[in-house]
Amino acid sequence: MRTTRGRFRLRSAVLATALGAGLLLAPLPARQAVAASTLTNTGFEADGAGTATPSGWSTYSAAGQNAASFTEAGGRGGGHRLSHWSSSAYKVETYQYLSGLADGTYTLTAWVRSGGGQNSAYLALRNCGSAEQRTDLPVTTSAWIRVVTSVKVVGGGCTVSVNSDANAGNWLNVDDLSFTPGSTGLAVKGVDLSALKKNEDFGATYKNASGTTGDPVALLKGAGAGYGRLKVWVNPADGYNTKTQVLATAKRIKAQGMKLLVDFHYSDVWADPGAQTKPAAWAGHSYAQLKKDVYDHTYDVLAALKAQGTTADMVQIGNEINTGMLWPEGSTSDWTQLAGLLGSGISAAKAVSSSTQIALHLANGGDNALYRTWFDNAKAQGVSYDVIALSFYGYWHGALSSLQANLDDISARYGKKVMVAETAYPFRLDGKDAHENIIDLPSELIPGYPASSAGQAAWLRDVMNVVEAVPGGRGLGVVYWEPAWTAVTGNGWDPTDPSSGNAWENQALFGYDNRLLPAAGWFAHR
C-alpha cells in the first residue's frame, strides 16, 4: 500500500499533466493529509457534516468509492463523527499518516459502533516498521464501545487507519481517537477444562482443524491459550471434579507451559447465583465448623497441587457468588458471615502460596449495580483479594457496552484487575445428542452474532477486545467456558444421572466432527 507521501506525489503528477493538456474538467479529488507527529482532528469536528475527507485525514478506495467515507452529525463526545456507509457494496479506508514519532510502543484508542455484516470492519496500525496490528469493530447498534490496539513503531512513522470491506447498507461510526505511548494486551487467555477428564474417559476424541487427532490441551495451547481453569467439587455423585481429577488435569495444563486457575465451588454440584448448596458432608455443620471446612478443603487441594509441582497461579474462592455461598450461613443476607467464609478460603490459598492470585467471581457481568453493592460490602468487611472475575454470556447478561461500563467502573472503583472468567457462544443451534441445548433458537442469539463458526469467533474476539480496552491496563483477560465439553454418552449435565445429556456441545470449541473451530485462534490475541 502506498504511503500518504506516495499518493501525494502521484496526485501532483496527474494534476500537472491534466493542467498542461487543458483536460481538467472534473472536480479535484479530495485533499490529502499532511503528515504530522500527532493525530489531528480526532473528533472529526473541523469540517462539520458531509465531508468525505475530513481535515488531517485521507480517504482511499481502489474502486473510487471515497464517498462511502464521510463525517456526519451525531458524535460521541462532540457534534460529529466519521462514518462509513453506502447503498451499494464498498471498500474504503480513512487514514492519517504520522511521522517524526519517537520509536517505541504506541496505543490507538477509539470509540466505535457498527451494525455488523461487513466482510471486515477494523482499525489498523500499519506502515509502522513492524507487523500491522488490527482491532475489529464489535457489533453495537446504539451504544459506543471503546477499543484499543497497539504497535511497535520503528523508523518514526505510522499510519492510523479505519477500514471497511462492506456489503450494501453496512455501516460503522468512529470518534474520539487518541494515539499515545503505551501497549495493550491480555495476560489471561484461558480455557475451562473441567469436563475434559470425564469426557475422555467416556470416549471423546479431539482433532486439529485439519482433522489430525491430538491432545486437546496441546491443541488449545497451540491456538494461543495460556491458562487452564478447573472447578473443584467436594464429593460429587459421579466422582469427577474432585481433587483426584484436578491433580491429573493440572499436570497436563502445566506440562503445556500454561498457568492454572482453580475454581472452588464449595459444593457437591453446580454452584451459581441460584444454587449454593453445601456439600452433603458439611450439611449439619455450624458456621464455625464451616469456616474450618472451607480452610481445610481449600488448603488440601492447593497443597496437593503444589506438592506435585503444579502450584495454582490463581484461585477463585467460590463460583458465581452473587448471592453468597454455603447457604444459608454464607448468604449475602449476612455479610459478616460470608466475609468470614471467604476469608477462610483466602487464608488457606495464601498459606499454600503467597504469590497465588485471589479472584472473587460473580455472574451477570453487565450489572453494575450488583457489582457495586457486592464489592462495597466486601470492602466494608475487609475481604482481601486481587482480581474481580465475571461471567458474561451476552444472551443472558446484556450488551457488550454494559460489560465495558461495568469493567471500567469496578476496576477504577476498587483498584483491581478484572477478567471475564466465563463466556461462550454457539457455532450452531442444533444438538449432537438428544438433550436440548441451552441456546438452540434464533431468538436467543445476540444480534449481529449468528450461530456459526464465524459468529462464535467474532463473539470471543469482541469480548477480548472489550477487556483489553479497560483503562490503566487493568483488563486481565478472558476464559472460555468448557470448550472441550463435547457430546459423549455418559458425560451429561447431571452428575447424579449417567443418562443425562449435554446441553453445551454447540458452544464448545470443537465441532461436531471433533475439529478445533476458528474461534480458538483468537487466543493468540495480543
**Which residues participate in catalysis according to the annotation?**
320, 422
Q: Are 509 and 425 in contact (CB under 8 A)?
A: no
Q: Beta strands 158-166 and 387-391: pairing type?
A: unpaired
Tell me which H or E stretch contains 70: strand 69-73
How far apart, in whole angstroms, are the C-alpha atoms of residue 402 and residue 406? 6
Q: Is the dihedral of CA 343, 349, 353, 357 positive or negative?
A: negative
Round to whole Å and give the CA distance between 422 and 519. 15
Find where cell 483536460 sits.
23
Cβ neighbours of 245 (radius 10 Å): 22
- CA end-to-end span of the chain: 24
Beta-carbon contacts of 221 under 8 Å, excluding residues fewer than 6 positions away, are 256, 257, 258
Phi, psi of 342 (to 5 degrees): -60, -45
> Rounded to whole angstroms, how far apart are CA atoms 53 and 58?
6
- Per-residue burial over 293-327, b = 16 or more CB atoms within 10 Å of its CB, e = otherwise: bbbebbbebbebbeeeebbbbbbbbbbbbbbbbbb
Amino acid at site 112: V
Contact yes or no for 103/156 (Cβ under 8 A): yes
**CA atoms of 469 and 137, how far apart (whole Å):** 12
Residue 396 cell numbers, joined: 443472558
Residue linked to cell 477444562: 193
